[in-house]
Structure 1
């Protein structure tokens, strides 16, 4: 249509002659006249095709094609005739064959449908060999240090043995996914030969028409580093990795109920791995008298060796800070602080599943944040660089943006301090923040406000009283054989005589 439009535009809009159009476009006169005289630009309605009535030249070969396709009913799915294979065999094994590939492909597709060889609604039982694994995600709520997380968990399952290992994660990003996979690899002492995945966006960027995938560069490097072969399921085909989907449900019912409460996610994930090992003493659901544990030994026997060098799962990127030294991640939902010195500048970030390491462009560390998760707006503020900076210039506190960023109780306390004490107080708060965190410094300030203690010494003493490192000793146990205390009679009259001689009046 581009060619038709160009020719008609030259003639009707620009007024050029047919000879001029021939010279300009290179098309022959017959073609140009045809397009100039064209009045109907509708596509012809498609005619229903009848593969049985196609080119008569194929008729004598149809019985042979049918016989090959009938034999395919007893052949493995991956070893059945394709249209290309049928065409190649007809060329090599028959005489006088001169039909086109397109004709053969149409007939093969028609006969496969008739013979139910392409039944897309049916499911074929899959055979899984030792060393194959499947990976999938589930959603779970958990509490870490009393903080609620709407997290995810990865399950790596082994269909041959029915073994499976879960790892809790804060999210479903590539850092969480790869760190969880590596933890499982290290626990079992090897890497599965082949791993089946769905089309998660952390791995697959695009599904192409021919069924191929465009994969993220990070996943390609990850798979190459550990040497496993990856396989992806067709969209909306959960049955193809039904084992891991069942294992995700089993994990939720047996390891996530009741809702987990723990102090450290890393420590709890180690517990999950150990609990999974203990769970393998169960009998396999298909093999009477055979445990999952014994079959899993067959899986482990063919695992690939772990690489000598760990894979770096971190994400590296740069960010520009605002005039207060803050920057945003995750499409602006999560705000982090850097330092006053890095205001209106570019900082370098190393992002893991649970940390955001902020560095200058020479990769010198500035601060480290706990990584934020969730779709709502949040901010993480590391106060030490700000308190350290302002303690050097305490007189500029109230004119700086730092003061406005401070919590209300700290603003009130700083206003109550004298001009001579304010610098010392800021240094003390910076020291306390460095030692036990900003929350402890803030709590000390609140106590100081209660006692109206605005001098540096009082602030320091209150901190020591609240956050003293003096260990609490257990009471001494009572022991047999220790003699009791005997009250001895004491006569103090001699001391009284001596005191009177010295001129001391004794009441």
Structure 2
């Protein structure tokens, strides 16, 4: 039998809109018990116990309300009780809260369902795996649709802004549409800071991405990442299912190919206990509510500026790459794709050169046509007969 305090907590959580399965996990009982207690008008009475009344008794329902609202700091609760007339010690308050702390250990929270097409949650995870014959840290981004639980995974070498944006671009392409809002944690790729008045200052690049696709940018409150609990759980799901099955990859391209195959053949066919449907089935309901994708994908390439030397080369990450001779002495814009393709643009925005990024040990990368005008400007060498030198020697 559950305690009187558990009865009041079950009633309070249900009043706040919590699902029965979440209440059962939180209290530590079965769903059947939760339903039985919800049907009772008052706490069940077991065998009466003889105990001394406590000064805390009248305030226990209020404490339960605070715990249900995720207020677990005993000192804070003690101060609130004193404001309400409590004259006992803080030891009684701590003694009452302490046995309930295991309820908080899992950090479960009330789960609110979103309407079809309304929200996507984004998060990064990492694990250790063999990549190209070497054990290294592998980063993977999980993007999950809130309604259907259909999700996409994309892996990359870093968790920077460009890779974050590319993971969302790939997710929108995979889903065939765009949600109304995207909820992120407070990573610098998306959020610069939270002002004291609660205003969120988003990264300019993330806002450009949002404007390009037409979604609303949203972020979790600081110190509360479980606001996006759906994607937090999927990060764990990927680690304990996909990366337990696959442990070695030739490249990130190979890894992403396996991830998408696993999504299509396994992950989206899993049964969701709460809904008794698969993500694939619920996604069919959600797909018509997604926004259409624009004609062109967002450009996630790295951007920078370089000055062209008089030898018609630019320096990029320790190696040198040729550009047309007419660009000598000018500034050019460069774009570097996430797979290492370098594209150079002149001041008018016209593409003037393209190279595959290489290590410095492979030498300077040169396109012969770029330097032909330079060779034509070189002064011709004067040719003399050897007889001239023979006369000098005589």
Name the TM-score class by shorter chain: 0.5 to 0.7
1:124-273 alignment runs, 5 A limit: 124-131=110-117, 132-141=119-128, 145-146=132-133, 150-257=137-244, 258-263=246-251, 265-266=252-253, 268-273=255-260
Equivalence for 1:348: 333
Secondary structure of 1:364 counterpart: strand
For the residues of structure 2 that align with 1:348 and 1:134, how far apart are their CA atoms? 34
For the residues of structure 2 that align with 1:322 and 1:207, how far apart are their CA atoms? 43
Which structure has the higher relative contact order (CA within 8 Å, separation 6+)? 2
- Could you tell me which runs of 5 or more consecutive residues in structure 2 were left unpaired when the two chains were aligned: 1-13, 19-61, 73-108, 376-394
Equivalence for 1:121: 71
Equivalence for 1:50: none
TM-superposed CA distance for 1:233, in Å, is: 0.4
For the residues of structure 1 that align with 2:354 and 2:174, how far apart are their CA atoms? 34
> 1:338 aligned to 2:321?
yes
CA contact (8 A) 2:341 2:354 kept: no
Return closer, same or farther for 1:344/1:336 CA change in 2, 3 Å cut-off.
farther
TM-superposed CA distance for 1:292, in Å, is: 2.8
User: Over alpha carbons, which structure has the higher Rg?
Assistant: 1
For the residues of structure 2 that align with 1:277 and 1:366, how far apart are their CA atoms? 35
- Could you tell me which runs of 5 or more consecutive residues in structure 1 were left unpaired when the two chains were aligned: 1-72, 78-111, 329-333, 371-377, 394-507
For the residues of structure 2 that align with 1:369 and 1:359, how far apart are their CA atoms? 12
Secondary structure of 1:338 counterpart: strand
For the residues of structure 2 that align with 1:365 and 1:177, how far apart are their CA atoms? 27
Equivalence for 2:79: none
Equivalence for 1:275: 262
> 1:299 aligned to 2:286?
yes
Equivalence for 2:86: none
Following TM superposition, the consecutive aligned residue runs of length 4 or more in structure 1 with deviations greater than 6 angstroms are 112-115, 321-324, 340-345, 386-393
Return closer, same or farther for 1:366/1:232 CA change in 2, 3 Å cut-off.
closer
TM-superposed CA distance for 1:344, in Å, is: 8.2
Equivalence for 1:284: 272
Return closer, same or farther for 1:300/1:388 CA change in 2, 3 Å cut-off.
closer
Equivalence for 1:365: 353
For the residues of structure 1 that align with 2:321 and 2:362, how far apart are their CA atoms? 8
Secondary structure of 1:385 counterpart: coil
Return closer, same or farther for 1:366/1:125 CA change in 2, 3 Å cut-off.
closer
Return closer, same or farther for 1:218/1:117 CA change in 2, 3 Å cut-off.
same
CA contact (8 A) 1:355 1:369 kept: yes
For the residues of structure 2 that align with 1:320 and 1:174, how far apart are their CA atoms? 25
CA contact (8 A) 1:175 1:314 kept: yes
> 1:309 aligned to 2:296?
yes
For the residues of structure 2 that align with 1:215 and 1:228, how far apart are their CA atoms? 14
Given candidates 315, 320, 323, the residue that maps to 1:327 is 315
For the residues of structure 2 that align with 1:211 and 1:227, how far apart are their CA atoms? 23
CA contact (8 A) 1:338 1:358 kept: no
TM-superposed CA distance for 1:345, in Å, is: 6.9
Return closer, same or farther for 1:390/1:197 CA change in 2, 3 Å cut-off.
closer
Return closer, same or farther for 1:284/1:346 CA change in 2, 3 Å cut-off.
same
Secondary structure of 1:165 counterpart: strand
CA contact (8 A) 2:320 2:365 kept: no
CA contact (8 A) 1:351 1:357 kept: yes
Return closer, same or farther for 1:381/1:200 CA change in 2, 3 Å cut-off.
farther
TM-score for both structures, normalised by structure 1: 0.46
